Amino acid sequence: MAAYPAHASPALTPLSHPRPQRAVSDFKLERTHSAVPPPLVSPALTPPTTPWRNSEEDVGQRHDRQPRSISLPQPDETAEDAADSNPALLQVLPKVWCEVRARIPTTTGQEMWLHLYHNNADEKEHLAIVFGPNIRSRSLDAAMPGETERDRMIRGAYVGTLYPGRTSSRLQAIRREEGVRPSAGYLTGLNGNGGGISNGQTGQQEIDSSYPEELGPPLVRIHSECYTGETVWSARCDCGEQLDEAERLMGLPVPTPSSTPGSEIGEHEAQKPSRLPSAGGVIIYLRQEGRGIGLKEKLKAYNLQDLGHDTMEANLLLRHPGDARSYGLATAMLMDLGLGGDRGIKLLTNNPDKVRAVEGPNREVRVVERVPMVPIAWQTGGERGVQGKEVEKYLSTKIEKMKHMLSK
């Protein structure tokens, strides 16, 4: 082959006949039953009624319930030869710090906290979208040299809710100004176990994750930026749909016996409060457009796809990796949010490589369960969701070449 200059793409050999396109329906995706399922098998879907229900008793999971998930084997339970298929991991995690956070009321009625992160690996502003009141950033809460209480409130390092006239970032100072002497038990119940409680001797805050143990592992989605799918209504992928679905799931009420799949307690037996708080979770939003190649190259890849190539081939023809994303920043951000350690997380993903990559080189974060992201069009029989020949081919490539765990 001729030596092309570094900036040139190789000439493409014309095809005498159009290459046959493979749709998702060409794959054998029927639901199978086996006594011993594989460790990462996709579970039943979670729409109000599953498309393949076998009888009136075989009813799918309701849309307003917590999603079903799949328990994952831990390292000592995994075969040794599986290590050969693990993705390459950074040996040292990057340093990250949260610069600011702000409360964002959403169109669905829930509130979320938008955290903006900087790091020592790139110049991009990555984001953590936090749902619920129980997850806090250690780096944000840490005291900054020379800052005032107003400075802390402006950058979001406060406990509770801002309101006109508030003068302190710490609840104890506010109560002291009001002449109230709260009990330790009251403060613990209000703020969690040390989450943002001030230490009067040092002026520092005792930083710790206060995500309640009774809620189990928090729900996490690692989402890579997709301008076309999230902003300009592209039907070439389902990225925008996945982001919306993650937001919906993290805004669901705290799980109760009647809202948990498989519970033996009927809904009529449980007391229903007027409004349950969100169980919460985190969407780590990484600025790695086009699986890490950037928007300009991604648009070139779209043109190659219109010339007959799939999404992975297009990246390769542009002399990029099929998938150039990295998840070390996500691991570091989860640790800063107090989600490392043995309790683990539930990861919303279909990508088997992401499960291992997010855990970090020394398993700083444990993925104990996987929650599948099933296309809404598949759940609803085509009544809703992203549809079209482009997204069908995109999903086919994910299943066939990227080994994503999707079942129809």
Which are the catalytic amino acids?
Answer: 323, 325
Instruction: Please tell me the distance from the alpha carbon of residue 384 to that of residue 94, in angstroms, as a whole number.
Output: 40
Instruction: Please tell me the distance from the alpha carbon of residue 360 to that of residue 138, in angstroms, as a whole number.
Output: 19
HSE at residue 67, side-chain half, CA atoms within 13 A, is: 31
Instruction: Please tell me the distance from the alpha carbon of residue 332 to that of residue 119, in angstroms, as a whole number.
Output: 10
Instruction: Please tell me the distance from the alpha carbon of residue 394 to that of residue 239, in angstroms, as a whole number.
Output: 11
Residue type for position 373: M
Compute CA distances 307 → 13, 18, 237, 303, 319, whole Å.
Answer: 12, 10, 17, 6, 17
